[in-house]
Structure 1
Amino acid sequence: MSDPDPDARLVERLVRSEPAAMRALMTAKLPRMLGLATRMLRDRSEAEDVAQEALLRVWRNAGVWRPERARFDTWLHTIVLNLCRDRLRRRRERTSHDIPETADPRADAETGLLEAERGDAVARAIAALPERQREAILLVHYQDLPGKEAAAALEISIEALESLLARGRRTLRAQLAGSLEHES
């Protein structure tokens, strides 16, 4: 790895169990961890639990991270992905995602409703993707990880990542085109 990891000093402080290091980690990484977990699990409360567990694991195991194997951000994303996968496996039989009906008080409630429906359609389409395609799409397009880091987090080659992304995008286009036709 040619560039030193920007998080290496933070990890050193975590290894020394400095409380300020944990606060710095939370400030720097928690929003992205929550974003990934929320997109994968589609449940904010569960995502918060995953983020908390990931932070605890990093706190306890910071000394395990090896900069020559992966960037810290990649290692952290891998921890979050694995925790999300575990939760998804445990709840496979649970499929209901009821959305309560609420009135939108804004003057342009119809526009907000259409945007929410579109967002829900995208979220459902992403959730319906095969697990590996969904993870690749989320890491690259929602977490903005470079391809090399996303591939490392998924423990696959760049070529395999590109293949997952291509298949996932094709499937999303087809699903979203179909859902838009049904709406018209």
Structure 2
Amino acid sequence: MSMIRGATARSDADGQRLRYRHPAETRRSAPDAVRPARGEALAQSDESRNRAAIEADHALMQEVAAGDRGAFARLMAIEAPRLTRFAAATLTDLAEAEEVVQEALVRLWQQAEAWQPNARLATWLHQVAYRLCIDRLRRRRPQIDIDGLDDTLEDDAPRADQEMIRADDVRRVRAALARLPDRQRIAIVLSHFQELPQAEAASVMAIGEHAYESLLARARRRVRQIIEQEEAAEGEAFEKGARG
């Protein structure tokens, strides 16, 4: 009995009772202690990568500010294709999208000397392109032509949200996106087509992260609703045809 009692509890020098801890308890508790440290390490890693990217952008912009056309050509090669995809998905018009990208890059060239390394270059360009797209959308009639949408978006562009779509629904999703209000469509494009982090996407749209998250959630729900309605209508039409 004394051996069992000694295994479960003992007295320290001050006479306080200390509970015996089985080694398995220690093993179970270890991951809980490790998780916060691991999360902090990941956050620091992301922050380091973002800071390194900002520094690289700043170095490139210093060359552009000095009038280095070769540096500007490298910048265009990196940023123009992605920016064009964003503008094309937003405007559903490739020609207009190319005009927007050209204007955004011209503004960057003109303001190169005043560039401040406060954010990613890609984020700044998306902000400019976003405002230019909104201006064009406001000048349009309410109806948006979606005929050219297939030509402006890559077939694998929606791959970032596989829960929202299936591979064979790409065209259906594109049509659904074109029916969304402008801001909802842009929120989806920034997140799933451009794959911007939430903070950067919110910055592009000049809203808070919480507001962007809510906007994106509403847009996703609306896309699902549109697709489900179309599928139901197609099912009813098929049944009528089969009965006829």
What's the TM-score bracket when you normalise by the shorter of the two chains? 0.7 to 0.9
Q: Deviations over 1:26-58 (max 9, x none)?
A: 110111011001101111111111111111111
Change in 2 beyond 3 A, CA 1:64/1:179: farther
Gaps of 5+ in 1: 100-114
Corresponding residue for residue 134 of structure 1 = 185
Deviation at 1:118, TM superposition (A): 4.1
1 CA distance for matches of 2:132 and 2:219?
22
Corresponding residue for residue 157 of structure 1 = 208
Corresponding residue for residue 104 of structure 1 = none
2:144/2:178 contact within 8 Å kept: no
Deviation at 1:20, TM superposition (A): 0.5
2 CA distance for matches of 1:150 and 1:96?
25
1 CA distance for matches of 2:208 and 2:65?
30
Corresponding residue for residue 148 of structure 1 = 199
Letter in 1 for 2:175: R
Greater RCO (Cα-Cα under 8 Å, separation 6 or more): 1
In the comparison of the two structures, how many residue pairs are matched? 168
Q: Deviations over 1:63-101 (max 9, x none)?
A: 343322x322111101111111111112225644457xx
2 CA distance for matches of 1:153 and 1:95?
23
Letter in 1 for 2:115: W
Letter in 2 for 1:124: A
2:60/2:71 contact within 8 Å kept: yes
1:65/1:72 contact within 8 Å kept: no
1:137/1:165 contact within 8 Å kept: yes
1:65/1:75 contact within 8 Å kept: no
2 CA distance for matches of 1:96 and 1:166?
25
SS in 1 for 2:111: helix
**Is the counterpart of residue 32 in structure 1 residue 78 in structure 2?**
no
Corresponding residue for residue 182 of structure 1 = 233
Q: C-alpha root-mean-square deviation of aligned residues, in Å?
A: 2.3
2:92/2:145 contact within 8 Å kept: no
1:87 pairs, out of 121, 130, 136, with 136
Q: Deviations over 1:107-151 (max 9, x none)?
A: xxxxxxxx9x94343222212222222211110110010111111
Aligned-residue identity in percent:
42
Change in 2 beyond 3 A, CA 1:95/1:155: closer
1 CA distance for matches of 2:104 and 2:82?
12
SS in 1 for 2:196: coil
2 CA distance for matches of 1:74 and 1:96?
28
Gaps of 5+ in 2: 1-46, 149-165, 236-244
2:177/2:185 contact within 8 Å kept: yes
Letter in 1 for 2:86: L
SS in 2 for 1:7: helix
Change in 2 beyond 3 A, CA 1:152/1:96: closer
Letter in 1 for 2:110: R
Change in 2 beyond 3 A, CA 1:137/1:98: closer
